[in-house]
Amino acid sequence: MDFFETVLWPLRWLVEVVLAVWHQVFTWMGMDPAGGLTWLLSIIGLVVVVRSALIPVTVRQIRSQRRMMDLAPDIKKVQDKYKGKKDQFSREAMSRETMALYKKHGTNPFSSCLPILIQMPIFFSLFYVLRHAADNRPGIGLMNADLTSSFNKADLFGAPLKMTFTQGWEQGNWVIVTMLGIIMVLMIASQFFTQLQIMSKNVSDETKNSPMYRQQRILLYIIPFAFLFSGVAFPLALNIYWFTSNLWTMGQQFIVIRSMPTPGSEAWRARQARLKAKGKLSVEELEIEEKRAADQGQRQQPMSAKRAKKKGK
């Protein structure tokens, strides 16, 4: 047992418990214990358990991302203030002012990474569980010899759940190659769409004009392609887990953006229009609308009588 397997031992035990329980539930329902569909549903059940437990953390992440986007103009002002100043005093002052902004708004650059940081150990724990099962080695918990044998026999339309893209290519199993190829494309598309929901609909107009937004917009087209590695290196069962988790994230983002949009964003204006049409805008929301309208009015340049008369014609 290597170092990472030892560190992940408690999580591996929990993953085995959840998988075994779901597998038993579907077996009791009359499904084939060694059937690919039984194990597919068990893996989806694991996703439901993990992502449900992470809902509070994920909501915190979304709020943190929103605050980071809203902070972008203020961060830019601090950076401009110390632009070209490379002495130690200026760097420390810029760092203090930046951290003060994070503290004031209750966020930091690492908060938005928290859910993925929590999920990665679970992902690798599942990887070790499935790798041991693929090698016909019983697990450390409920993945006994019978369940291990059952997993080894499981396949979907001729694609073994334990097989990777590379193994399928080498063995000429074009079903697994095709299936994993499709899953890779779908994972890239779902990740891209999830990020696009935030970048296009849930960002205020002011933030869209900031350099930080433009940088994150570039990453939008780069990060999803990381799934090419997982599609090739990991077995079908693990890719099913990750793809299902992506679908969960996409649906969750849609619900959160629709119900808790960033003020001043496209999604916020759409929500305000829906509530206004139903007469359900709260007093607080009406005050926010009036304040934003007043701010926009203040930003308009004064117009001379001559120009106003000319415009009136």
pLDDT, one tens digit per residue, over 165-192 is 888 888 888 998 999 889 888 888 887 8
Question: What does the block give as tokens for 267?
Answer: 């999604």
pTM equals: 0.73
- How far is C-alpha 74 from the geometric centre of its chain's CA atoms? 26
Can you give the pLDDT at residue 308? 43
Which domain, by its residues, includes 246?
162-262
CA distances from 205 to 68, 139, 198, 201, 269 (A): 14, 52, 13, 10, 11
| Residues composing the chain | 313
Domain boundary (156, 178, 196) is at 156
Would the CA dihedral through 211, 214, 218, 220 be positive or negative? positive
pLDDT tens, N- to C-terminus, the chain (313 residues): 567 777 888 888 998 999 999 999 999 999 998 888 999 999 999 999 988 888 887 777 766 766 666 676 777 777 777 777 777 777 778 788 777 777 776 666 666 566 667 778 888 888 888 888 888 888 887 888 888 888 888 888 888 888 888 888 888 889 989 998 898 888 888 878 877 777 777 766 666 666 666 666 666 666 666 667 777 788 898 888 888 988 988 888 888 788 777 777 777 788 878 877 777 666 555 555 555 544 444 444 444 444 444 444 4
Whether residues 173 and 131 fall in one domain: no
Q: Find residue 159's DSSP bridge partners.
A: 156
Number of domains in the chain: 2
- Looking at the structure, tell me whether residues 143 and 76 fall in a common domain: yes
Asked if residue 122 and residue 77 are part of one domain, the reply reads yes
- Cross-strand pairs, 155: 160
Rounded Cα distance between 313 and 294, Å, is 26
Identify whether residues 209 and 151 lie together within a single domain. no
Q: What is the pLDDT of residue 297?
A: 40
Are 77 and 60 contained in the same domain? Answer: yes
- Residue 257 CA to residue 261 CA, distance in Å, equals 5
The string of DSSP codes covering 184-241 is HHHHHHHHHHHHHIIIIISS-HHHHTSHHHHHHHHHHTTGGGGHHHHHHHSBHHHHHH
How confident is the model at residue 24, as a pLDDT?
92
Task: Please tell me the distance from the alpha carbon of residue 268 to that of residue 259, in angstroms, as a whole number.
Answer: 9
How many Cα atoms sit within 13 Å of 188 on the Cβ side? Answer: 14
* Tokens 């359900």, residue located: 280
Residue that terminates a domain, selected from 219, 236, 262: 262
Based on the fold, state whether residues 12 and 145 are members of the same structural domain. Answer: yes
Phi, psi angles (nearest 5°) of residue 33: -60, -30
* Residue that finishes a domain, picked among 242, 262, 282: 262
Q: How far is CA 7 from CA 32, 127, 128, 135, 142, in A?
A: 34, 14, 12, 21, 19
Contact between 129 and 16 (Cβ < 8 Å): yes
